Chains A and B, each alone.
Chain A
Amino acid sequence: KNQVEQSPQSLIILEGKNCTLQCNYTVSPFSNLRWYKQDTGRGPVSLTIMTFSENTKSNGRYTATLDADTKQSSLHITASQLSDSASYICVVSANVNSGTYKYIFGTGTRLKVLA
């Protein structure tokens, strides 16, 4: 069964600190993995994407890593800001047939950054 599990469920950190969010998946056939940021009351917005051959991708203070062998990904946030308070969702897509993708969403990690 295709599954995406994220940990922790929630996290509270102080402004300026770093944090790492985890994503484990069992999705086949794997196509790519995205991290999304979802602000409260808004739709998800893509932060990074990694395909099978990519093991790291950065977007400003966000750095995602992918280990396709262990089927694990992490999202590292450096020097956190109050605006980083949001839910972070890991989404893995499976290439079910040519040009058609199935998206499996994790339940998200809710991050709260305190001043």
Chain B
Amino acid sequence: NAGVTQTPKFQVLKTGQSMTLQCAQDMNHNSMYWYRQDPGMGLRLIYYSASEGTTDKGEVPNGYNVSRLNKREFSLRLESAAPSQTSVYFCASRRTSGLPLPYNEQFFGPGTRLTVL
């Protein structure tokens, strides 16, 4: 099991460029999440997908779009990158069956470090 994988690991963009961050999980989890982590702040939820075919906004969705391509894959797109989007982006997945729900933990990917110049 690879768990949660993210590509790319590092990316540098110029203001106004677009890119898609890829995330895939092989644990057959229903829910998937995109977070950003900035210095001095806790992880903040950008978008999540409770199940295949559904997506919902999180705390900081502006400037981002997502696609739940299938049960395994959840991508995050920056249409016109801004310096304020310089951050480390984490994808996570979570099972929503089996154990009592509170015990279903989120599993995180290794992160994508994005710099927007």
* A and B form one complex: yes
Among B102, B108, B111, the residue within 8 A (CB) of A51 is B102
Q: Could you count the A-B residue pairs with CB atoms below 8 Å apart for me: how many are there?
A: 48
B interface, CB within 8 angstroms of A:
4, 40-45, 50, 90, 92, 96, 101-103, 105-106, 108-111
A104 to B35, CA, bound (A): 12
Given A105-B43, A108-B42; A32-B109 close (CB under 8 Å): no
Q: Is there a chain B Cβ closer than 8 Å to A42's Cβ?
A: yes
Q: Mark A32-61, 1 if CB is under 8 A from B, else 0.
A: 101000000111111001010000000000
Among B42, B101, B102, the residue within 8 A (CB) of A89 is B42
Determine if A107 and B108 form an interchain contact, defined as CB atoms under 8 angstroms apart.
Answer: no
Determine if B110 and A42 form an interchain contact, defined as CB atoms under 8 angstroms apart.
Answer: yes
Given A4-B42, A41-B111; A103-B105 close (CB under 8 Å): no
A81 to B106, CA, bound (A): 26
Number of A interface residues, CB 8 Å? 24
For A62, what are the chain B residues with a Cβ–Cβ distance below 8 Å?
Answer: none
Minimal beta-carbon separation of A41 from chain B (angstroms): 7
Determine if B105 and A99 form an interchain contact, defined as CB atoms under 8 angstroms apart.
Answer: no
Determine if B42 and A43 form an interchain contact, defined as CB atoms under 8 angstroms apart.
Answer: no
For A43, what are the chain B residues with a Cβ–Cβ distance below 8 Å?
Answer: 4, 90, 92, 108-111
Given A41-B111, A46-B105; A106-B4 close (CB under 8 Å): no
For A44, what are the chain B residues with a Cβ–Cβ distance below 8 Å?
Answer: 43, 90, 108
**Nearest-CB residue, chain B, relative to A44:** B108
For A49, what are the chain B residues with a Cβ–Cβ distance below 8 Å?
Answer: 102-103, 105
**Nearest-CB residue, chain A, relative to B40:** A107
Q: Is there a chain B Cβ closer than 8 Å to A100's Cβ?
A: yes
Determine if A34 and B105 form an interchain contact, defined as CB atoms under 8 angstroms apart.
Answer: yes
Minimal beta-carbon separation of B111 from chain A (angstroms): 6
Determine if B102 and A107 form an interchain contact, defined as CB atoms under 8 angstroms apart.
Answer: no
Q: Is there a chain B Cβ closer than 8 Å to A85's Cβ?
A: no
